[in-house]
Structure 1
Amino acid sequence: MTGTDHNASPFNAIPPVTTALVIVMAGVELILSLGARGLMGGPGAVGWRIQTIERYAFSGDILAWMVETGRFPPEHLMRFLTYPFVHGTFTAALFAAVMMLALGKIVGEALGPLRMLAIFVVTAIVGAVVFGLFAGRVPLIGAFPPIYGLIGAFTYLLWLRLGQMGEAQIRAFSLIGVLLGLQLVFGLLFGGGPYWIAEVAGFVAGFAMAIVLVPGGLTRLVARLRER
Structure 2
Amino acid sequence: MTNKKWYQSNWFIVLSLIFCLPLGLYLMWENRQWKTKQKVIITIICSSVFVTALNFFAVSSYDDFKANKEKEIAAKAEESSDEITLDDTDYQMEYESDALTDEPESDSSAELYEYESSDALSSTATREQKAALKSAETYSLIFHMSKAGIYDQLTSEFGDKFPADAAQYAVDNLDVDYNENALKSAENYAETFNMSSAEIYDQLISEYGEKFTAEQAQYAVDHLSE
**Which is helix-richer, 1 or 2?**
1
In terms of Rg, which structure is larger? 2
Greater relative contact order (Cα 8 A, min sep 6): structure 1 or 2? 1
TM-score interval (norm. to shorter): 0.3 to 0.5
Normalising by structure 1, report the TM-score: 0.34
